[in-house]
Chain A
Amino acid sequence: MKLNKYFERSLWVFHLNTGSCNGCDIEIVAGLTPRYDLERFGIKLVGSPKHADVLLVTGPVTSKMADRVKRVYAQTPDPKAVIVVGTCGISGGVFYNSYNLSGSIDKVIPVDVYVPGCPPRPEAIINGVLQAWIKLEKLRKTLKDNSPAK
């Protein structure tokens, strides 16, 4: 996997709803409005997982969605990061132990950043993306230090 310093400055986000109540989705859209303006960090909402660098996943994973989540994750080209937005995606939230759930998102795909809240505020989502930045920066540093060229 390759990473360069431009990667964190241009994160394209694909928003994936795995059975959320739409509360978190509205807050994500709020992050793109002029008040919060995620685009000033180079973050762009894209329509296809093939274009995405970050998967913004909301909601508990319903049984029907589990396979689709895996497929969308596989379709996203490397390097990629996954951010879970909302309590439901972290633990199941109010749907905890429900009969038609596959469980939290990290039981289906690997997750990098968790943003708790029901729903989280747009500031919290922006902070979550920032944490993903920091994580990617650290990863780039380790990749650079361990690269065989040096």
Chain B
Amino acid sequence: MTTLQVKKINLQNSYHQTAWQKILASENLRVEHHLSYTAGIYDGEQLIATGSLQRNVIKEIAILPHYQGGEVFNLLLSHLMSELSNRGFYHYFVFTKPMYQQTFEYIGFQKVAATAEACLLEKGNQSIDEFVKCFSKKEKGVKQQIGCIVMHANPFTKGHLYLIETAAKACAQVVVFVVEADEGMFSYQERIALVKAGTAHLSNVEVYGGGAYMVNFATFPSYFIEEEEQVIHYQTVLDATIFKEKIAPAINCTVRYVGEEPFSHTTNLYNQALKEVLLPEVQVQVIPRSASLDGQIISASKVREMIEAGASEKLADFVPATTRTFIQEKYHV
């Protein structure tokens, strides 16, 4: 098969786009947008295989049945991996169907977690086993509760503080993970600094970054799912499974705390998935939202709205003094 050629596919071109969509359809993959790079393998003029990158995630791998099983797959993956290293990514993921787990393990990927419907694998200079070594393992007492909270804290509000304080009262130790994905108004560095500053008075609370492994919605692809609701379900179940199998045992976590979510459908589904997956090994405590003095529900999205509108009057009701000072300095609000 010396005629095989690997090329970048230009998806702006409708001729190439049609050929690409056809090959995805033959493997029952959903057409995804926002891909950073798409490669194709051609046998003569015919597109016979494709794979894409979205940041550090390999996705949309499709190979025509006749060419499956070895050479074409290796050629395609070699190309995508050298493309990843050209882009400076040396830690990358594949999100795939469970049936392909072994295929990827064979070329050096390691499983992060698998559910009935999906499998996440990683390769490169970081791994989840290395990641969990950074945490100090807590003493496992008979009645000792070790609580855990994962939060985005964009930015850190009195609502987050209330959640952590509630956990800190009930548990011997509380570990807070801050989501690292930089998608929002406040950067990861800013967010984790504010969580640390806002919880400095609580001696049994530790704050860590969540790495690539906790609530990384942006990087968990889900292209082989038809419906939005299903997409969310897949991702949340996988996220919960990673927590249950890898994170919770590393810190001896016995209870995961989450905030009640009256507004966001996605977070609601996430809380549901956590209960589905974590029980009975890890308890799930849903804490009702706290309200500001005049009865308004506190949320980080409202804080961001206030900053954008330059409305400073109620900010001090919504965020702790440490966050208030930071907002003042950064946004002059």
Do they bind each other?
Answer: no
Q: Which residues of B contact A (CB under 8 A)?
A: none
